[in-house]
Chains A and B, each alone.
Chain A
Amino acid sequence: MSGPRLVRCLLAAPLLLLLALPPATFAHGEIAQMAGIRMRTIHWFDTQIEPRQVAVNEVVTVRGRFKVSEHWPDYVAKPEEWVFLNIGVPGPTFIRLDTTINGMRQLQSTALRRGEFYDYEVKLKARVPGIWHVHPLVNVWEAGPVIGPAHFVEITGDAAHFVNEAVLLNGERVEVEQYGLRTMSGVHLVWLLVGLLWIGYWFRRLPVMMRRYVAVQELGEAEAERRLIGWQDIIVSGLFLALVLGLTAGIALWANARYPITMPLQTGRVEAPVLPLPGALAPIDIEIHQARFNLPRRTLTLDLTVANGTETPLAVGQFVAGYVRFTNGEVVEARREDDYDMVAPDSLSVNRRTLAPGASTRLTLQLEDAIWEEQRLVDIVAEPDLRIAGLLFFYDPAGNRYVREIGTRITPEFSITPAGSEQLDNLQLVRSPLPGMRPDA
């Protein structure tokens, strides 16, 4: 094999390899968003995305709950204006059939109140085969999307078999993706023909451009106009003017006859009702004394006092910040379903197993896991507002759940041991494997 040919083969090999590889599915860029925004805007929990494998035309339901944080950052637009419960998928791989927030259908935008809990349900119909990462998300006007937890859903089958029918108000059953397409294409073709006829008239006898250019240069503009533009041109132009006016009026009138009842685009805002979350009124008060985030250990330590005003002992089972869950393995069972799953099982440890009823108990919570790094929440220490928020879940022996939001400033620690002891190279530590860090982190 000659040298140049060998070089060409070597250059082509990676391209061929790339084409031969099966299509990969990547997650979205949710971790690119500021950690402070993710942890202080919407807290997502009880998220269910089922089923995980469907055929084209089958329905997937995304349901769950979220709390709009009381600690919403001042530098982010507020959710009481305009928000929209959306779905984060790569394009219209699903279509959305229905959305409800606290039981209210939400075809259009809504408003959410800070401090309130909301139940939501979104029904999706599978459209494009593939493996897709499906998130719930809330778009906030002038702020952008606040993304929720995700799971992969596999769609099997053939996209060509996808069906999306709708019944118009006049009773006509239509295939949504085809409706009006012939009319639109026909109108485009008619006008394209008119344009080509006009250009064709001027270029009917070649050469045109150079001949006219030379004429203008040699005769001057006025004389060139007189010689180059004849009565036939003026008559034809007049006919084209009439044709354009007639055709515009004609096809507009035809469209009015074909589509006699139309209405303007609709806009508006539907306010979702506020419903109390079970257990929300239980008398549990939390006072935070200190919150420290240790960067090399990826550990948040919360020092707080919980006043349990209920008549039953409670255990701390879970902490939810944004879309990330830290669970206490002694209370809540959890497992990671895939490498992108946003749960950290057994990552929450508490120095007291139960909180006695009617008593105030000083607690130290430690949330230690590589998920801080995986989800790039460690960046909280580099943000302009060193503050976090999250939901603390308490459980009683009967299995009842009580949810409280906490929010506080944090003190960052840049060494493994407390301040004053040996200072460590932070960058080196971040890149070194630590206990609990997974290989894919």
Chain B
Amino acid sequence: MALELNPQADAAPPPARPALHTAREQWEAWKNVDLMFFPLIAILIGGAAVFLGALTIGDWSYWQDWRDRRWWPLLTPLLLLTLPAVLTYAFWKYFKLPVAATAVAVGYLLSQMISRYVNFHLFTGFPMNWVMPEVWIGAAVFLDATLLITRSFAITGLVGGFFFGLLFYPMNWPTVAPMHMPVQVGESVITLADYMGFQYIRTAMPEYVRIIEYGTLRTFGGHVAPVTAFVAGFFAILVYYVFVWIGSKSARPAFMTKLL
């Protein structure tokens, strides 16, 4: 309609100069790249992390009665570390910016909160305290800050990777501790998480499906969680190295050219 009102518009001459003419204009354009690109990539990779989490962590992340002392603090940080490690390489190699892990963790938390609230709480009706996602932003900041201080992937893996695995359980303890309060139901004493697992019906999720400390010999007495956290730390070092290496391969321009 606007064209009809202004028949001269088609005849307008092309711009006499490029869009970025001065250094000032280029500076402003670069700012716009930050304002648009970084939030977008944080949301996208956060969403990708949620998708990866659904495929690999799944029920350990969804339900409070899956968050045991043995498998949840071991598998969850190892699987959550993969995407930040891949992206860390590109962000450091091309921008010298130690923010990739934190950006993934923030995007992950925001995306997960939306998913849990809309899908699990509003749509399927589970209580929010029963499906709260895990938080690992602190571990991601630790990883990024270590990289900045050391400027070395090797040392970052050794220190940052180790603490990434180690800190996951204590970092999340306040979000699971309320659910581990004991409740007496008849002659049995179970945790509030077990009780909610019994009460809130999941047709395809019977109690026996949970892998609760399966196979431990209890060598360290009752201190299962700290031992698991240390084991997660050691494995996280390896995971970090492997996925930074994958990041180094996938961030090569030649690879991207082939891909595109």
Most chain A beta-carbon neighbours within 10 Å: one of B97, B181, B195: B181
Q: Are A84 and B208 in contact (CB under 8 A)?
A: yes
A196 touches B207 (CB 8 A): no
Mostly, the B contact residues are: helix
Q: Are A199 and B102 in contact (CB under 8 A)?
A: yes
In B169-210, the 8 Å CB interface with A consists of 170-171, 173-175, 177-196, 198-204, 206-210
Instruction: Scan residues 87-121 of chain B and give those whose CB is less than 8 A from a CB of chain A.
Output: 93-99, 102-103, 105-106, 109-110, 113
B157 CB to closest chain A CB (Å) equals 16
* Residue of A whose beta carbon sits closest to that of B95: A212
Give which listed residue, A94, A107, A178, A249, contacts B170 with CB less than 8 A. A249
Contact of A238 with B207 in the complex, beta carbons under 8 Å: no
Pair A191/B180 contact, Cβ less than 8 Å = no
CB of B167 within 8 Å of the partner chain = yes
Nearest Cβ on chain A to B138's Cβ, whole angstroms: 4
A256 to B169 CA separation, bound complex (whole angstroms): 13
Residues of B within 8 Å of A207, CB to CB, are: 27, 30-31, 33-34
Cβ contacts A202-238/B at 8 Å (1 or 0 each) = 1100111111110110000100110011000110011
Q: How far does the alpha carbon of A210 sit from the alpha carbon of B29 in the complex, in Å? A: 9
Partner of A168, one of B151, B182, B187, B194: B182
**Is B137 among interface residues, defined by CB-CB distance under 8 A?**
yes
B30:A105 contact, CB within 8 angstroms: no
B50 at the interface (CB under 8 A from A): no
Residue contact B175 to A244, C-beta cutoff 8 Å: no
Chain A: CB-nearest residue to B167: A248
Question: Are B174 and A95 in contact (CB-based, < 8 A)?
Answer: no
Given the known inter-chain contacts A92-B201, A188-B109, please indicate yes or no for A198 contacting B174, CB distance below 8 A.
no
Asked if B68 contacts A265 (CB within 8 A), the reply is yes
Task: Indicate if the CB atoms of A233 and B148 lie closer than 8 Å.
Answer: yes
User: In the docked arrangement, what's the CA distance between A262 and B102, Å?
Assistant: 31
Binds B, one of A6-14, A15-23, A137-145, A337-345: A137-145
Q: Which of B4-12, B75-83, B139-147, B241-249 contacts A (4 or more CB under 8 A)?
A: B139-147
Taken residue by residue from 176 to 209, chain A's Cβ proximity to chain B (1 for < 8 Å, 0 otherwise) reads as 1111110111011001101110110011001111
**Complex alpha-carbon distance, A432 and B192, angstroms:** 55
Q: When the two chains form their complex, are residues B125 and A92 in contact, meaning their CB atoms are under 8 A apart?
A: yes
**Contact in complex: A84, B201 (CB < 8 Å):** no
Say how far A435's CB is from chain B's closest CB, in angstroms: 37
Q: Is B255 an interface residue, CB under 8 A from the partner?
A: no
- With beta carbons under 8 angstroms apart, the residue of B33, B105, B180 that contacts A264 is B180
Inter-subunit contact A241/B145 (CB<8 Å):
yes
Which residues from B are CB-within-8-Å of A164? Answer: 199
Q: Are B210 and A228 in contact, with the CB atoms below 8 A?
A: no
CB <8 Å contact, B106 and A203: no
Q: A209's contact among B34, B127, B144, B148, by CB below 8 Å, is which? A: B34
Using known A-B contacts A241-B145, A255-B174, determine if residue A107 contacts B192 with beta carbons closer than 8 Å. no
Q: Which residue of A lies closest to B198 (CB)?
A: A107
Q: How far is the CA of A213 from the CA of B253 in the complex (A)?
A: 14
Is B125's CB under 8 angstroms from A255's CB? Answer: no
Contact A262–B181 (Cβ < 8 Å): yes
A177 touches B135 (CB 8 A): no
Q: How many A residues touch B, CB cutoff 8 Å?
A: 95
CA distance A105 to B198 in the complex (A): 12
Q: Does any Cβ of A come within 8 Å of B257's Cβ?
A: no
Q: What's the Cα separation between A266 and B173 when bound, in Å?
A: 17
Closest Cβ–Cβ distance, residue A42 to chain B (whole Å): 14
Q: Which residues of A contact B170 (CB under 8 A)?
A: 248-249, 252
Given contacts A168-B183, A179-B192, A254-B174, are A198 and B34 in contact (CB under 8 A)? no
Q: Which of B27, B140, B149, B177 has the most CB of A within 10 A?
A: B177
Given contacts A229-B96, A259-B180, contact A184 B132 (CB under 8 A): yes
Find out whether the CB atom of A194 lies under 8 angstroms from the CB atom of B178.
no
Give chain A residues whose Cβ lies under 8 Å from the Cβ of B109.
188, 191-192, 195
Q: Which residues of A contact B65 (CB under 8 A)?
A: 265
A77: min CB distance to chain B, Å? 12
Contact B208 A82 (CB under 8 A): yes
The answer for the CA separation of A247 and B35 in the assembled complex, in Å, is: 30
Considering the chains assembled together, what is the distance between the CA atoms of A321 and B182 in angstroms?
A: 42
Query: Are the CB atoms of A209 and B138 closer together than 8 Å?
Result: no
B25 at the interface (CB under 8 A from A): no
- Which of A128, A169, A238, A258 contacts B145, CB < 8 Å? A238
Minimum Cβ distance to chain A for residue B20 (Å): 11
For A169, the chain B residues whose CB sits under 8 A away are 181-184, 189
B198 contacts which chain A residues (CB < 8 A)?
96, 99, 107-108
Closest chain B CB from A343 CB (angstroms)? 23
Residues of A within 8 A of B102 (CB): 195, 198-199
When distances are taken between beta carbons in the complex, the residues of chain A under 8 Å from B103 are 199
Please give, as numbers and ranges, the residues of chain A lying within 8 Å of B141 by CB-CB distance. Answer: 194-195, 198, 240, 244
A216 to B96, CA, bound (A): 8
A255 vs B180: C-alpha distance when bound (angstroms): 11
Chain A neighbourhood of B35, CB < 8 A: 206
Within 8 Å of chain B (Cβ to Cβ): is A428?
no
Least CB distance from A119 to B in Å reads 18
Is A421's CB within 8 Å of the partner chain B? Answer: no
Binding site for A on B (CB under 8 A): 27, 30-31, 33-35, 37-38, 42, 65, 67-69, 93-99, 102-103, 105-106, 109-110, 113, 124-130, 132, 135, 137-142, 144-146, 148-149, 151, 167, 170-171, 173-175, 177-196, 198-204, 206-210, 212-213, 224
List, sorted by A's number, 29 A–B pairs whose CB atoms are closer than 8 Å.
Answer: A91-B124, A91-B126, A95-B201, A108-B198, A108-B208, A139-B204, A168-B182, A170-B182, A184-B129, A184-B132, A188-B109, A198-B144, A206-B30, A206-B35, A207-B27, A208-B97, A225-B96, A228-B96, A244-B145, A245-B167, A249-B170, A259-B180, A261-B182, A262-B181, A264-B212, A265-B194, A265-B212, A266-B189, A267-B213
Given A166-B195, A187-B175, A237-B146, 20 more pairs with CB closer than 8 A: A86-B201, A91-B125, A107-B207, A108-B208, A109-B208, A167-B184, A176-B127, A183-B174, A191-B171, A192-B137, A195-B109, A198-B102, A199-B103, A203-B34, A212-B96, A244-B141, A264-B191, A264-B212, A266-B191, A266-B194
Going nearest first, the 10 A-B pairs with the smallest beta carbon separation are A180-B178, A207-B30, A84-B206, A262-B180, A177-B127, A255-B174, A139-B206, A210-B30, A195-B137, A267-B212
